[in-house]
Structures are given as structure tokens and as C-alpha cells.
Structure 1
């Protein structure tokens, strides 16, 4: 059994890897060795053969996620090794990282720093769902939309759904039949069976997905307060104003531009200021009026609520019922599927665990995954999470493509590995790790120690912003968020064992370096002493010297450097002149103020074309806050 299961896993993995045939074969051989070694070790401990196979496979992600991680790490390491010519080691080093991570829980690398970190971490109390504060967007909806629906919705026409909603809410409900007709939908088109046991707005979101091949949506008409059903794309175009108070953020050190940037970066948009179309934010005093769609309003309100919430971890856009998913994935299931349709197999798992599944029909169809396709799988008492991984392998063996599940609206949504990852927003209190001043260094660590992609490094992907009280707000997919949280927990575990070190002297003299054009350097040399710690530049240090700023020509740079100011890649770029190094000698405290000034200047001008030099005398601070040395 072990050989068959391992071969099936490796076969699916090999098809998903975006490597050369030689590299793919080497990766498969390496993983096979680790699986067989782990299997033999577990058998030697008295673990049954079936459980040993399941545990060995469970220590890897499912084949799709493992392949995605490896492909991502190979790309990152290839990108970072281009200048050194070490391209042939990219796949090997990426695989080594993932192999280490896969077997981390059992500390199989005893004796090195990684295993010691894991050992310390395991001695800490495990996180519980109560450690997370959940911000459900539904709290900003009317009470009648938050009323719980107990009974599942049976297949029914849109007209019948309208009658149900009117009876359930006691309100008039409208259907935009004109829009439905333009989408090619008949009023008699039926919704799919819809799990309930959730607030009405959640059940309605579920019911209106993939109705006759089209996604529908609902909104509350701002003029008459009527609940209306129409097309999803049309709902996204209907904008109305919402005014919010942001004085708590302004009173804690953020300026209005910073608040607007924060809201736009942590919501889906589109925003006119960022994307050229979409919602608009207009400030007045300590308030912002948001002209956008209903869903964007809810996202903005949830972000503001999360920023005001107290907790080490605040999760946005997750119904409170999401907490139950983790418990359901631990419940044991058994099965003996013999050419059983995938849909029926998942219904059987629901019967055993109470955990409902919904289907991303469009993504599954695009990937060629059929819900009626047969699967063959026998399991005796395995956790649902493990059973799903084995089930996806069985699907891939039959259909050549592996599905995956993601958490959505408190349910497990079955989708394809090619589907766009769903991003979520976390607010994380990191005050036990770093001070407010050192948040840029923590953000730099996260950028380089998680797979990404990150917008500030890769041009797309997740975002991180620093916020008051030594916290960060992160928008990323679940895989990256989980790894980010683990990274922070590792640092906390190691920090508890570390020898205390004296705090950095804010008056210590440091030299920092920034690459830029000569004209930029000359401008900054004249304005920084006026706007940053103006009284400090004429005060002597203890050695009798004064703070200073100088420029140094960068060897090997001929003529003008090309720097893109705004715009997008491929558009004409602007020649800004010869490139030089701006060298600033100041106290650590003033350097922090200079970094903030440059970051604000970059954000407000929309031109991030300064180039900091990392790792010299503590590192130069970058305009996006990602430069600098290690954690202090």
C-alpha cells in the first residue's frame, strides 16, 4: 500500500512541477527517499501500516500546494541568484527548505537551530481559536439580514427564492428581471441546494453563486431600502456614499493620506486613485466619504473595526463559524469509495463530520474537474484533513487534475489549484517582538522569509502596512498568512530563550546610504535639514563633529540612469541623471525621522525611485519601510 500511495502522490506532484524533466526526476527521487524513510521510522515505532502512510503524506501539503510552494521558491531563488550565476542550485535549495518544513513537527533535524526552535515552540501552549478576534462584515448590516436561517435551501427558482425572502424577512424583495434576461437567465432558473445554519446574508451569498452559469448578487437599494437581486457585475458598478470617522487613527499618529492609503491597500477595490477606475475616497476634517459599492463599504468598515479591536490577532472577512472548520478537519472519517462520484464522496464526509462543502463550479469546470467523476479510496479512521488530501490524489489519478479546498463563508469551498487565491486580512500585534520604530525591519523579514508574492517585491500579491501600537496589517492568501504567523511564533519562542541585550541608544551615531540620482540627492540635502529635526544639524556630537550629508559617485555608472517615475512597465521612462550615493551621518533617532520623511515623500509624490543600500551600519531605511538590518 505504501509504495502505491507514494507513487500516486509523486506522479501528481511531477505533473504539477514547472521544472525541467531532469530537475523534476531529482525532486521526485528526493521526496520518495524522505517518504520511505519516514514510513520505516513510523513502522519501527509500532504505528500501523495504514497510519504510517497517512502520517508520512500528511507531513507534506497536498501535491498541488507542495508543487506551488516549490515552484514559487524556485522562482524566488532563481531571481536572487541571477547575479551570482548559481541558477542550478535554485531547485535544490528550495526543495531543502520545503523538506525541512514538511517534517518540522517531529523535529527530525535534531541538533540544528531549526529543530531547537521547533522544540522551544512546542513547549508553549498551543494557540486556540479564542486567541483570534474575528471581525465579521455582517455586523455592519441590518438586523434582519443577520437573522439565522436554520433549514437548508432546496433547489428553487429565483421567483420562489424571492417569495422565501419576503416571508423570512417580512420585507419587500425585488428581482432585476431585466438584468437576468440580459445574462440569458430565465426567471425559472433554479439555485443549487444551499447549506444554511448561518445568517441570511451568508446563505444568500451562497445561494446566488453559479445560478445557471452566472454569479448573481444582492444589494439594499439606498433610495428605498429594498433588498434587490441582480447580476454580480452590475452590483459592483452601483456606488453610493458612506461617511466614516477616522479620528481615532489620526489621533494615534497617522495622517489622512496614510489612512486612505491603508484602506485602499487592504481592500479589494478597484479604487480610482490606484487602478484608474472604481471607488473614490474624499476627506473632510476627520471624516472620509467613500463613494463605492456595497461590498467595498463593508470591507472598509471591517478594516476600521479591526484597527480598533484589541487582540494579538484580528481576522477580517471571516464569519465566526470559520473557527469550527479547524475542529471539523480533525474529526475522523472512514470510507470505502469504489468508483464513487466525487460529489457523493464529499456528501459522505459531510454526513460523518457535519462540515458542509460548496463548489466553485466555474473554477472546477475551467480546470476540467468533474464533480461526477469517479474516485476510488479506502480509509480507516483518518482526520478529515488527511482524508481530503488522499481524496484529491485519487481525483488527480482519475482526472489528471488535483482540486483543493479553501475556507469561504464558514464553509469549505472545493475549487481548483489554478483558481486565484482568496486573500484575507489580519491585524497582528507584534509589540512583544519589536518597537514601532523597528516595524520596517520586521516587514523586511516577512518579505524575505515567506513565499509571497508580495506587491512591494514582486509587483503583485499581498501587502503589509505598519500601524500604530507596534502592529501590522497584512492582506495575503491563507497559505502565506499561516506561514507568517508561524514565523512570528518561532521568533517569540527563540526570544524567550535569548540573553537580554541592552536597548539601542537613540543617540548613537550611524552612517546610512541611499542610491539616487544626483539631482535628487542635491534636493534632499537642502530640504532634509529644514524639515527633519531642524535643530539637530548644528549640534556637535560628543567627538566634536557635526551631522553631515554628502554625495559619492557610484563607480561603473556611466551617464544618466533610467528610472521609472509612476506609470507602468513598458511605458516611456524618464532620464533623471547620473546615479550617486547619498551618505547621511546622524543619530539613530534622527535617522528614523529621515526614513519616515522619505517614506511619506514617496507615498505622496507617487514616485518610489529612491534606492536604499541594505546591510551597511544597520542598513539604510527604504522608502517602503523594507530596508534595514535585522530585528532589534
Structure 2
């Protein structure tokens, strides 16, 4: 777990000033490269691209207290796909096919309607071109293996281990490597084989698509309808409610903002709030988001964007509903050291919470320097988006300076299995820049290495459906070296731990932060890592 108090954000801008041997004075325009242009698009990966074609079609329909049978009949007729209910399981869980459903689509894809059946604890998948509707618990246990050819990502500088880590740490999971149960990943050349549920395969597809092409902020699996809702959340509204029932308040706000705003029944029950709860509130020309925040605070409710709807739900549900976004930050960090510092800044300058030892909170990881992947709530992702814009303004307003920190000496803490630490404490000075380490023949060198024991990791193990915990002894190598040597050490450690694939992408970043983000001598880490429960 990162300890953010050990890091300092240094607002220093550095360029690479090169002096030509043939010139007395370098041309500043040539000496300092221009930062890369960060695109605004794509803003999202459309889930409709990763569902069967029949369910991605746009439709307009309204159901008022219609049964599940009626909805299935409409899908079969209009979308030309057979629908089968898992009748036995539904009966066992008390879900009747005559269950009344009220919903609507307004020129929206059909899969959104199916996703909203989640409120009845229902889920869907397509097998043999048949739409099957079952319970969420059954769907979560149904896994399949699919191949993903990611040769283009590997050619683009992403490493196999980094791709695996990003997938496991920024999707909803679960993953066997992280929690002792769930899906798994296996590599065969450029092909990644993933065993997971249908919904998780859609998440993986969306994440890989965002890694291939991302912008200032690209949601990995977010319907474009949410982009329109975000614009409406930023638009001003005026309200004057006096003991007005909550349901009427929501109806009035939806009409005024032209947004699809709904009360989530389960969320209301969890918060013990009635839809007839009297509301008194007067605000003029305030953003819809601010109005909702004020309105919902006393009711212990919050809003979320899910399946094309602005839902009002309980705070616990909202805090657990996280999304993943990829941020193009090549202009803010060009190597793993600057990526670490940018990550630490995000932790200290946003509300969080961030992942802790109990597995609670959001997480971030750099797929490679310049490609930041974050899993968090909508609110925190917006905070990060705003924070990046603030850093960019500071970067433009700062004077570029010659970068002289490549040989700056710092101390970093590398945590690993105790056996690996034992071997590396002896072998690292032989493997990485031997002339840079202090010894009897090189008393003026700078490099030193010390090994200290660390707390063990608790790893969950499931065998024959029996869960148990195993303690994995850990140690920390405390290494004092130059920045350039630290980069090589990171690469060697990663190769030792993961074969010929580095654990994190080091170097190769094309960022122009120029030292905008840096860390002190206390240590570094490239990601927040989930702790096994």
C-alpha cells in the first residue's frame, strides 16, 4: 500500500536542453521539444460495440407495469432474437414471469433495458444466438474463455504483465489471483486468454479498446447517453419546493432538465426513504448536480449514472458503484518516476477513498508512463479530470528549465518476496551498473543496498471449495542510487519476478512533464495494489 505522506509534489518544469557542438548557443525552440497534443476524443468506449448486434439496435418503447413475459415477447418480435427464461432458477428465487416492470427506451439500445432488470436481481447473456435471462448469482458463476490478441498493444509499448495488472485491478472482477476466486488470465504469445463471465468480458473488451485509443479521459465502458446526462448535470436549474413529495420533485427536475432521472427502489429501501418524503428547497440558477447534492444530502442519498439513467440511490450503493477511465497524461509524466509522483498527487489532492488493506476504495495504475488507468466513482473521476486540467495550466504557465535530475541520487524501497530480496541484495550490484556501487575498490561510488524484513502478505487460497489463508514472507530492499540506475533496477526486478516481461512499463514514455512531478528519497510505487482478504 502506498504511503502518500512520504512523497512530495515538486512543481518543477524541466526540458531537455541540448547544446550543439557546432553552435555557441542552442536555439531554445529546437532545444525544448513541444509537448504532445492530448486529444479530447474518444470520451468513452460504447458498450453497444461489445454486445450482440440485435441488442445494440436503437429502440423507442414504454412499458407500464408490463410483465417479464411481455418484455420478452417484444424483444423476440422487434429484435428477432429468441428469449429463454431460466424458469427453474427464477422460481427458486421467487421471481415470477408475471413480475410487473415499468421502464422505457427513447431511441436507446435494447441492452440498456436488459441491464436495468438488475433491480429484480436478473441478468442476461447470449448463447447460441439465444438471449437467456437468469439470476445475477447464476450469471456470475457462468464463465467462458475468450482469446484477446493484443499484439498491437505490445508493439505500442505496453508490457504483458502491465496489461494483466491493469485488467485485474481496474475491472469489477473477481479475479482468482487477487481474491482467491473468480476469473483468470493466461498468455500465449501475443494472445491473452481470459476466463470470466459475459459481463466481465465486456469490461475487458472496453478496457483494451480504451488502452488502444484514449484521450484526456476515456471511460472504458460507458454508454454515450451518459455524456448527454453529464452536460445536463452541468446546466443550471431553479427549484422552489415546499413540502413537495420526493417523487414529484424528481419528476419536476426531470422535466426541467430534460434528463432521465429516476428513484432506485432498492436504494430508497436501503436508506429507509419513502418516495413521498416531503422536500422543501429553494435554489435559483444552480447546476443540476449541485441541486441534487443539496437535495439528497439530508436523505443520505446520492446520484449515479448507470445504464442511461440518472439514478437516485443510497450512499453505500453509490460508493460501491465504480467506473474505469483511461487518462492520456503523456504531457505530465514521461517515465515511471514521474508517473509515481503524479499518482501520489492524485491520492493526496482528491477526495478518495483509495484502496486500503481491507480492499475498500478506488485504485489506479499506469499501464505505461503516460497512460493512467483509474477505477473510481463518477465524482472522483471528475475530480481527477479537473485536477489534470489544473496541472496542464500550471505547466503552460511555468518556465521550462534544463533537466538535470537524471543522475540525482535518491533512496527507494522495493518490496518483494523474502527469498527474492535475499538473492538480489547480493546480485544486484553485479547485474546493474557494477561500477556505480560502493565497495572496497569503488569507495567514491554512490550505490548501496540494504535488506529489511517486512510484514507478510496474507494470500487467500481456495482448494476444493475450502478457503484458507497463507502467509507470504516479504522483505524490502532499501536502495540508494541515481535515478537512471533505479530505472534499470526496476526493470531487472520485474524480469526476475515475471520472466521476460517487466512488471511495470519503465522508460519509453513520451511525456513532457519535464520534472513537473517527482518524488523524494523516501520511496516509490507504481500502483495501488489490492490486498487479499
Q: TM-score under structure 1 normalisation?
A: 0.66
**Aligned to 1:191, what secondary structure does the other structure show?**
strand
| Aligned partner of residue 345 in structure 1, secondary structure | helix
Residues 551 and 186 (structure 1 numbering): CA distance in 2 closer, same or farther, change over 3 Å? closer
Which one of the candidate residues 465, 468, 471 is aligned to 2:371? 471
* CA–CA separation in structure 2 for the residues paired with 1:484 and 1:154: 40
CA distance in 2, matches of 1:575, 1:165: 55
Matches of 2:60 and 2:518 in 1, distance apart? 62
Q: 1:332 to 1:447 in 2, by over 3 A?
A: closer
Pick from 226, 236, 239: which aligns with 1:322? 226
Question: Partners of 2:184 and 2:283 in 1: how far apart?
Answer: 53
Shift of 1:244: 0.5
Within the candidate set 309, 312, 323, 1:414 is matched to 312
The match for 1:455 among 347, 352, 355 is 355
- What runs of 5+ residues in structure 1 fail to find an aligned partner? 1-75, 82-127, 555-560, 609-614, 627-632
1:524 to 1:411, Cα distance in 2 relative to 1, 3 A: same
Match of 2:141 among 237, 242, 250: 237
The answer on whether the counterparts of 1:333 and 1:381 sit within 8 Å (CA) in structure 2 is yes
- Distance in 1 between residues matched to 2:274 and 2:476, nearest whole Å: 59
Correspondences of 1:53-68 after superposition (within 5 Å): none
Aligned equivalents of 1:617, 1:159: Cα separation in 2:
60
- In structure 1, the partner of 2:508 is none
Match of 1:216 among 115, 118, 122: 122
Equivalent-residue separation in structure 1 for 2:69 and 2:272 (angstroms): 32
Matched with 2:92 is 182
| Paired residue secondary structure (1:376) | strand
Q: CA deviation at 1:296?
A: 0.3
Deviation at 1:270, TM superposition (A): 0.7
Partner of residue 423, structure 2 = 523
Structure index of larger Rg: 1
Query: How far has the Cα of 1:446 moved from its partner?
Result: 1.7
1:139 corresponds to which of 49, 60, 67: 49
Q: CA deviation at 1:589?
A: 1.2
Match of 1:41 in 2: none
Give the distance between the partners of 2:410 and 2:291, measured in 1 at CA: 56
> What are structure 2's unaligned runs of at least 5 residues?
7-37, 461-467, 504-516, 529-533
Following TM superposition, where does structure 1 have runs of at least 4 consecutive aligned residues deviating by more than 6 angstroms? 515-520
Q: Which residue of 2 aligns with 1:52?
A: none
CA-CA distance at 1:294 after TM superposition: 0.6
Alpha carbons 2:39, 2:216 under 8 Å: kept = no
Q: Aligned partners of 1:515 and 1:181: how far apart in 2?
A: 54
1:439 to 331, 339, 351: 339
Answering whether residue 302 of structure 2 is matched by residue 404 of structure 1, we say yes
Q: Could you tell me whether the CA contact under 8 Å between 2:247 and 2:263 is conserved in 1?
A: no
**Within 5 Å, which residues of 2 pair with 1:252-291?**
252-291=156-195
| Alpha-carbon distance change, 176 to 250 in structure 1, aligned in 2, over 3 angstroms | same
Higher alpha-carbon deviation: 444-453 or 404-413: 444-453
Q: Any residues of structure 2 matched to 1:94-105 within 5 Å, and which?
A: none
Distance 1:511 1:521, change over 3 A: farther
Cα 1:284–1:341 change in 2 (3 A) is same
**Cα distance, 1:340–1:140 mapped onto 2, change above 3 Å:** same
- Displacement of 1:571 after TM fit? 6.4
Q: How does 1:140-219 map to 2 (within 5 A)?
A: 140-206=50-116, 208-210=117-119, 214-219=120-125
Distance 1:141 1:514, change over 3 A: closer
Secondary structure class of the residue paired with 2:103 = coil
> Where is the helix percentage greater, Structure 1 or Structure 2?
1
Match of 2:16 in 1: none
Q: 1:592 to 1:148 in 2, by over 3 A?
A: same
- Residue by residue over 1:359-391, the C-alpha shift from the partner in whole angstroms, topping out at 9 and shown as x without a partner, is 332222011011122323455555433433443
| 8 Å Cα contact 1:595/1:622 also seen in 2 | no
TM-superposition CA deviations, 1:334-374 (whole Å, max 9, x none): 55544432112211222222211233322220110111223
Q: Give the TM-score of the pair, scaled to structure 2.
A: 0.77
CA RMSD of aligned residues (A): 3.7
Alignment partner of 1:424 is 2:330: no
Specify the SS of the correspondent of 1:318.
Answer: coil
Query: SS at the partner of 1:461?
Result: coil
Kindly indicate whether the alpha-carbon contact (under 8 Å) linking 1:424 and 1:475 is maintained by their aligned counterparts in 2: yes
Which residue in 1 is equivalent to 2:524? 622
Contact 1:563–1:573 (Cα < 8 Å) also in 2: no
* Contact residue 461 and residue 476 of structure 1 kept, 8 A: yes
Change in CA separation of 1:348 and 1:451 when aligned onto 2, cut-off 3 Å: closer
| Residue of structure 1 equivalent to 2:492 | 597
Q: Pick closer, same or farther for the CA change 1:163–1:498 going to 2, 3 Å.
A: same
Residues 277-356 of structure 1: pairs in structure 2 closer than 5 A = 277-356=181-260
Q: CA–CA distance in 2 between the matches of 1:176 and 1:459?
A: 33
Alignment of 1:488-567 (within 5 A): 488-504=388-404, 506=406, 508=407, 510-512=409-411, 514=413, 522-533=422-433, 545-546=444-445, 548-551=447-450, 563-567=455-459
2:101 aligned counterpart, secondary structure = coil
TM-aligned CA deviation for residue 564 of structure 1: 0.8
Distance 1:279 1:575 in 2: 26
Give the CA deviation at 1:573. Answer: 5.5
Q: Which moved further from structure 2: 322-331 or 373-382?
A: 373-382
In the other structure, the counterpart of 1:370 is 274
**What is the rounded CA distance, in whole Å, between the counterparts of 2:87 and 2:519 in structure 1?**
67
User: After superposition, what is the alpha-carbon deviation per residue over 1:67-86, rounded to whole angstroms, capped at 9, x for unaligned?
Assistant: xxxxxxxxx99x979xxxxx
Instruction: Report the 3-state secondary structure (helix = DSSP H, G, I; strand = E; otherwise coil) of the residue aligned with 1:194.
Output: strand
Query: Which residue of the partner structure matches residue 17 of structure 2?
Result: none
Question: Comparing both chains, which one has the higher relative contact order based on Cα–Cα distances under 8 Å and sequence gaps of 6 or more?
Answer: 2
What is the alpha-carbon distance in structure 1 between the residues aligned to residue 420 and residue 214 of structure 2? 42
Could you give the per-residue CA deviations for residues 544-599 of structure 1, whole angstroms, max 9, x where no partner exists?
A: 944643549x9xxxxxx56213437x9685777xx9974434x4211112134345
Matches of 1:149 and 1:345 in 2, distance apart? 28
CA offset at residue 309 of structure 1?
0.6
